[in-house]
């Protein structure tokens, strides 16, 4: 299974957040969308199809960049709360309101949920939305997540836009009598594939919240997140409805064989790219049980090194394409050197060196991306290789829509 981690902004904050561990969630991370450098998703193919490389320079560049940026990030297991998770003087506090809900989409279930509204909220302007699964843990102001405190601080500093948080607990079917036990619906709701949970959010919970608050209906203004089963639940909602949830926060996600999550690597390879950005995190101490293996193994490293070789080959081909078009390819040389070093197994034993090489690749690709984009803008997106066809209109529209969303100024 391929192993990657995406880093990306959470909610609709527009600021990058670094992933802190390696994920064994496989091709999931590669398919779930643009990397932290705000690049479009890669259109994945089997290795046998790579020989039929697209000749359009813009498409070749996007394929290479998106694939290469799917590198793991390693860090020490240090999860100490930072200042953003602490109440700061002079920062206005949002309100947190608790409610309960009886669902029709999950018949017979009842659940609590909480709505956080920042002090800066104004009804005249639609607010961004972030939905959290296992909501009680995220809504607490003295637990491990402290989301209301974090939102207070980031919104106050204008590092994220005004965002309403919706924290939802999994459903419970109440016990029918004192001689019976309640039935907890968490795994059914969270671990299963399909659109049922997305419909629950879009047809029940969010319309109820929208009765009192002006919520944006733009998918770029909506994020969804969770941990463990809550993480795969968040991803599935975005996978099913990327038009409504284009940002995902996933930690220690259960992308394994509990209720079909292990099918995602294959589904992602078979499916056209979806405009979803993901922060994907896992840790080396995660589970290895009957449902699957959550963490990175030596075999995963061998597979990653194999992919690095593939990316290096694509970078070399792209360099030749650029040379043929009289475009200076020297900025790729440092990236190529770093990619070759990433094929050395010793690198994966040295966290600082791995991070340094990742930085070389990421920053180099950022400069390279911006340079090509400037040239594309000058030529009105008409950079094509000799004898090639134009980019398919559907692909062009996807890329254009994505860059339009990036051009938005923070609210």
* 61, 128: one domain: no
Instruction: Calculate what percentage of the chain has a pLDDT beyond 90.
Output: 43
What's the whole-number mean pLDDT along residues 83-97? 96
Residue that terminates a domain, selected from 269, 288, 307: 288
Domain presence at residue 28: no
* 136, 247: one domain: yes
Residue 135, token pair as written in the block: 């909501």
* 264, 192: one domain: yes
* 281, 309: one domain: no
| pLDDT tier, 237 (very low <50, low <70, confident <90, very high otherwise) | very high
What's the whole-number mean pLDDT along residues 362-369? 78
* 117, 228: one domain: yes
* 127, 61: one domain: no
**394 versus 334: which is more confidently predicted?**
334
Spatial separation of the C-alpha atoms in residues 103 and 84, rounded to whole Å: 35
* 239, 133: one domain: yes
Domain that residue 386 falls in = 36-69+297-406
Domain presence at residue 157: yes
The β-bridge partners of 277 are 247
Domain presence at residue 11: no
Helix (H), strand (E), coil (C) string for the chain: CCCCCCCCCCCCCCCCCCCCCCCCCCHHHHHCCCCCCCCCCCCCCCHHHHHCCCCCHHHHHHHHHHHHCCCCCCCCCCCCCCHHHCCCCCCCCCEEEEEEEECCCCCCCEEEEEEEECCCCCCCCCEEEEEEECHHHHHCCCCCCCHHHHHHHHHHCCCCCCEEEEEECCCEECCCCCCCCCEECHHHHHHCCCCHHHHHHHHHHHHHHHCCCCECCCHHHEEEEEECHHHHHHHHHHHHCCCCCCEEEEECCCCCCCCCHHHHHHHHHHCCCCCCEEEEECCCCCCEECCEECCCCHHHHHHHHHHHHHHHHHHHHHHHHHHHCCCCCCHHHHHHHHHHHCCCHHHHHCHHHHHHHHHHHHHHHHHHHHHHHHHHHHCCCCCCCCCCCCCCHHHHHHHHHHHHHHCCCCC
Instruction: Calculate what percentage of the chain has a pLDDT beyond 70.
Output: 69
What confidence score (pLDDT) does residue 365 get?
Answer: 78
* 91, 133: one domain: yes
* 222, 352: one domain: no
Number of domains in the chain: 2
Poorest-pLDDT segment among 61-70, 79-88, 230-239, 351-360 = 61-70
Poorest-pLDDT segment among 184-198, 288-302, 360-374 = 288-302
Poorest-pLDDT segment among 3-17, 186-200, 384-398 = 3-17
**220 versus 400: which is more confidently predicted?**
220
pTM: predicted TM-score of the whole model, two decimal places: 0.61
Spatial separation of the C-alpha atoms in residues 223 and 133, rounded to whole Å: 12
Phi and psi at residue 209, to the nearest 5°: -65, -35
* 97, 64: one domain: no
Spatial separation of the C-alpha atoms in residues 384 and 405, rounded to whole Å: 25
| pLDDT tier, 71 (very low <50, low <70, confident <90, very high otherwise) | low
* 157, 242: one domain: yes
CATH code, 132: 3.40.50.1820
Spatial separation of the C-alpha atoms in residues 7 and 158, rounded to whole Å: 20
What confidence score (pLDDT) does residue 270 get?
Answer: 92
Domain presence at residue 78: no
By C-alpha distance, which of 316, 258, 248, 266 is closest to 287? 258
Mean pLDDT of the chain: 77
For 312-330, the pLDDT digits (tens) are 888 888 888 888 888 888 8
* 278, 306: one domain: no
């Amino acid at each position: 299974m391929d192993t990657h981690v995406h880093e990306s902004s959470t909610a609709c904050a527009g600021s990058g957040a670094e992933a802190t561990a390696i994920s064994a969630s496989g091709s999931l991370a590669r398919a779930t969308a643009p990397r932290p450098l705000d690049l479009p998703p890669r259109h994945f193919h089997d290795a046998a199809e790579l020989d039929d490389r697209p000749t359009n320079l813009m498409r070749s560049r996007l394929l290479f960049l998106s694939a290469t940026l799917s590198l793991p990030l390693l860090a020490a297991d240090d999860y100490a709360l930072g200042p953003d998770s602490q109440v700061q003087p002079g920062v206005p506090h949002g309100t947190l309101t608790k409610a309960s809900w009886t669902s029709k989409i999950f018949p017979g279930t009842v659940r609590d949920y909480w709505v956080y509204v920042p002090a800066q909220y104004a009804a005249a302007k639609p607010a961004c939305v972030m939905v959290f699964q296992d909501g009680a843990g995220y809504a607490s102001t003295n637990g491990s997540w402290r989301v209301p405190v974090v939102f207070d601080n980031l919104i106050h500093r204008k590092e994220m836009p005004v965002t309403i948080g919706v924290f939802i607990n999994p459903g419970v079917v109440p016990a029918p009598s004192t001689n019976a036990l309640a039935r907890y619906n968490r795994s059914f709701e969270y671990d299963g594939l399909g659109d049922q949970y997305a419909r629950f959010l879009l047809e029940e919970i969010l319309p109820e919240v929208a009765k009192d608050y002006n919520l944006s209906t733009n998918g770029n203004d909506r994020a969804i997140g969770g941990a463990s089963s809550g993480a795969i639940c968040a991803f599935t909602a975005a996978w099913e409805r990327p038009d409504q949830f284009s940002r995902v926060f996933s930690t220690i996600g259960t992308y394994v064989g509990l209720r079909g999550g292990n099918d995602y690597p294959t589904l992602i390879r078979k499916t056209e790219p979806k405009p979803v950005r993901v922060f994907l995190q896992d840790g080396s101490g995660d589970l290895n049980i009957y449902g699957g293996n959550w963490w990175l193994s030596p075999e995963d490293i061998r597979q990653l090194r194999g992919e690095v070789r593939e990316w290096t080959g694509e970078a070399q081909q792209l360099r030749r394409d650029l040379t043929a078009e009289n475009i200076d390819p020297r900025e790729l040389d440092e990236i190529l050197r770093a990619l070759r070093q990433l094929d050395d197994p010793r690198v994966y034993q040295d966290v600082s060196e791995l991070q340094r090489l990742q930085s070389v690749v990421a920053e180099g690709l950022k400069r390279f991306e911006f340079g090509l984009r400037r040239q594309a803008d000058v030529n009105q997106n008409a950079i094509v290789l000799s004898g090639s066809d134009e980019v398919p209109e559907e692909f062009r529209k996807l890329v254009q829509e994505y860059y339009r969303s990036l051009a938005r100024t923070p609210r």
